[in-house]
């Protein structure tokens, strides 16, 4: 797998994660909203509990259909080589529950341990923070074409939902018009009778 600076990569998606909960599009939107570039969400190896070196940083998040994507802002050369050598089988995200909602803490790659690198700082993680790790396979790496297809599917679904709403409104209007015509037809004999009654006294006066 080749990942370079400013690439958008899949890091999470909607779905049922069992005891960890169900994630919807709204949840992904909340994670995107709560992302703050100043927080410097790191790229790490494994599931660090207290500290870990940062092998890279994420520069942004976005949702494309059912997928959460992250923009790679920085990546260490040794880590890029490890990715190319396919040393990582899976990846995971750590998502915390905060007062503002769900928030991404880090993107982790799982597989081989990397040797220590001089000058690579160690990050401190808050153990008191409520979070959960979500792991998924790296076997399928989505391309730009895959993301475009996801976007098109999402757009088509939104268009379909919009058309369905318009169709429902038209059905309501047709039903109302049909009911109005029915009421007019039912009232027609009564109106005719009332009209005849109104005409007869007038004719008698003419005589």
pLDDT given for residue 64 in this prediction = 93
**Residue in this structure with the two tokens 């169709």, named with its chain if needed:** 167
Instruction: Kindly list the domain boundaries of the chain, sorted by start residue.
Output: 7-137, 147-200
What pTM was estimated for this model as a whole?
0.58
pLDDT given for residue 136 in this prediction = 57
pLDDT given for residue 28 in this prediction = 95
Q: Which two tokens stand for residue 181?
A: 């015509």
pLDDT given for residue 131 in this prediction = 62
pLDDT given for residue 25 in this prediction = 95
* SS3 state of residue 71: strand
How many other C-beta atoms can be found within 10 angstroms of the C-beta atom of residue 25? 14
* SS3 state of residue 46: coil
Cβ atoms 85, 20 nearer than 8 A: no
pLDDT given for residue 37 in this prediction = 65
Q: Which two tokens stand for residue 90?
A: 């899976």
In the predicted model, residues of the chain with pLDDT beneath 70 are: 1, 37, 39, 48-52, 112-131, 135-155, 190-207
Q: Which two tokens stand for residue 65?
A: 């259909």
Cβ atoms 134, 20 nearer than 8 A: yes
């Amino acid at each position: 797998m080749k990942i370079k600076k400013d690439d958008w990569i899949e890091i999470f998606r909607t779905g049922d994660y069992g005891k960890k909960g169900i994630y919807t599009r709204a949840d992904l939107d909340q994670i995107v909203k709560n992302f703050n570039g100043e927080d410097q969400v790191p790229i790490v190896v494994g599931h660090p509990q207290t500290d870990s070196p940062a092998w890279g940083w994420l520069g942004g998040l976005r949702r494309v259909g059912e997928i959460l994507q992250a923009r790679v802002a920085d990546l260490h050369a040794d880590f890029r080589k490890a990715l190319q050598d396919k040393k990582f089988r899976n990846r995971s995200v750590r998502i915390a529950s905060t007062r503002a909602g769900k928030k991404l803490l880090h993107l982790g790659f799982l597989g081989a341990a990397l040797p220590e690198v001089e000058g690579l700082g160690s990050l401190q993680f808050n153990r008191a923070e409520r979070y959960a790790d979500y792991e998924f396979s790296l076997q399928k790496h989505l391309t730009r074409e895959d993301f475009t297809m996801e976007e098109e599917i999402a757009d088509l679904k939104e268009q379909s939902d919009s058309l369905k709403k318009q169709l429902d409104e038209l059905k309501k209007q047709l039903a109302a018009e049909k009911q109005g015509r029915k009421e007019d037809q039912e009232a027609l004999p009564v109106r005719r009778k009332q009209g005849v009654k109104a005409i007869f006294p007038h004719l008698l006066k003419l005589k």
